[in-house]
Amino acid sequence: MEYMTIITKDHKTITAGLHHIEGELMNVVVKDLSGIQLGDRLTCKFEMKSFHAYVLKQENFNLYLYLPIQERQAPNERRRFYRHSCQISASLSIKGQEPSKVTIVDISLNGFGFITGNSLGKEQLYELELKMDEPAETLRTQITVRNQRELPTSLYRYGSQITAISEKDLLHLRKFLLNQQLSETGE
């Protein structure tokens, strides 16, 4: 396990073991949680770099910290985008055409994996719309198909990349993914 130094808002220095970083969530292990509260902004020092993270959850000796994706000084060996496996119904369309139903099987800040019975064009621009439970929002985005795999049941599994998304929808997507990551930590 690699170690880092955390400085609390009261300037207390704590040594923390870096358990993992995935997407915008960093899990560190500390011996003493005293003086650390939910929502606190912590200064983290790792490999001669300093960056900020925010306390989202405390569990036993684990701290789950929000590490903004824009934070350039953060450790760079993290998986850039967390991927959440799911089964969510959505609609996919080309502008001006009737939408078709797809099943989203994974979601990240970079794109979506989905299954459909329709053969789709690679590099074609599509509109994707899905209803998310937490937070209860309808998310709309434009995607481009990047890869395709034919499944044995006359279905296709596609990987796509987000090419356009509004700031509001991006915020909802980030909240959804962070909620999913945090709920997975309690399992």
- Show Cβ contacts of residue 109 under 8 Å, excluding neighbours closer than 6 positions: 23, 69, 81, 82, 162, 170, 173, 174, 177
Same domain for 98 and 178? yes
Same domain for 164 and 112? yes
Confidence grade of residue 134 (pLDDT, cut at 50, 70, 90): low
Instruction: Judge whether 79 lies within some domain.
Output: no
Q: What is the pLDDT of residues 1-45, one digit of tens each?
A: 688 899 998 999 999 988 878 778 888 999 988 889 999 999 999
Domain tally, the chain: 2
Same domain for 166 and 109? yes
Confidence grade of residue 74 (pLDDT, cut at 50, 70, 90): low
Q: CA 156 to CA 118: how far, in whole Å?
A: 7
Same domain for 90 and 176? yes
| Res. 115: pLDDT tops 60 | yes
pTM of the model: 0.64
pLDDT score, position 48: 85
**Which runs of E-coded beta strand occur in 9-97?**
13-22, 25-30, 41-46, 49-59, 62-66, 84-93
Q: CA 100 to CA 123: how far, in whole Å?
A: 18
pLDDT score, position 86: 87
Instruction: Judge whether 74 lies within some domain.
Output: no
Range of the domain at 21: 2-66
